[in-house]
Chain A
Amino acid sequence: GAGVSQSPRYKVAKRGQDVALRCDPISGHVSLFWYQQALGQGPEFLTYFQNEAQLDKSGLPSDRFFAERPEGSVSTLKIQRTQQEDSAVYLCASSRWSEAFFGQGTRLTVV
């Protein structure tokens, strides 16, 4: 596609519910990143993939967060047993050279 596509754009989850957020990167982009942006804050790094390999997951806040990119293209960020502090915008970015291209994000609200 023309850009990074994320779905859904908005997600409301009840506390304790599991959610899955999808990212379709730009075709051919090797690198894929997930960031979490809390309200009024800058994005914070969650995890990084190079093709299908998850090379850095040091930013994942707890073991309730899990990300995968099984075929080196589409990626899914899964959050289990969601809590109110998980409410944020989740941004996906892909890059091939030095510039990262961001999707529009998924706004997750946990109620």
Chain B
Amino acid sequence: AQSVTQLGSHVSVSEGALVLLRCNYSSSVPPYLFWYVQYPNQGLQLLLKYTSAATLVKGINGFEAEFKKSETSFHLTKPSAHMSDAAEYFCAVSEGETSGSRLTFGEGTQLTVNP
């Protein structure tokens, strides 16, 4: 069975400050890991994904995440927060890279960006 834990249901940063959203996973097989962003009343948009290639993954909108097997972590970072980054962020894990692999999500982290 797979699971995801996101530490901190709410994170608040100032505009221009570092964004760090934490995600730890549990998986009995080599995991495929994802970060999604959800804006109010919208669906989920993929930010980035780890699929066993490079451990540092770069995504859209300046976000990146680093896969650390020893720590079972996949934390999301952005050097400088922008007001438009305010949204809910979900970490997810799947057992495979194929189109038929279901996702197991964490409970989400609401990011607030203060001016």
Contacts and interface: CB of A to CB of B under 8 A. Distances in A.
- How would you classify the secondary structure of chain B's contact residues: helix, strand, loop or mixed? loop
Contacts of A99: 46, 49
A30 B43 contact: no
A72 interface: no
A31 B92 CA distance: 18
A56 interface: yes
A97 to B, nearest CB: 6
B31 interface: no
Contacts of B90: 42-43
A31 B106 CA distance: 22
Given A42-B107, A42-B108, A91 B99 contact: no
Interface in A92-110: 93, 95-105
Given A42-B90, A56-B102, A100 B108 contact: no
A55 B102 CA distance: 11
A103 B43 contact: yes
A31 B96 CA distance: 14
Interface of B: 4, 32, 36, 41-46, 49, 51, 90, 92, 97-108
Contacts of A95: 99-100
Contact of A4 (B32, B41, B43, B102): B43
A100 B43 contact: no
A104 B41 contact: yes
B32 to A, nearest CB: 8
11 contacts: A40-B107, A42-B90, A42-B106, A43-B44, A43-B103, A45-B103, A50-B100, A55-B100, A91-B43, A100-B46, A102-B43
Nearest to B4: A42
Query: Which are the 8 A-B pairs with shortest beta-carbon distances?
Result: A42-B105, A102-B43, A95-B99, A31-B99, A102-B44, A98-B97, A104-B43, A45-B102
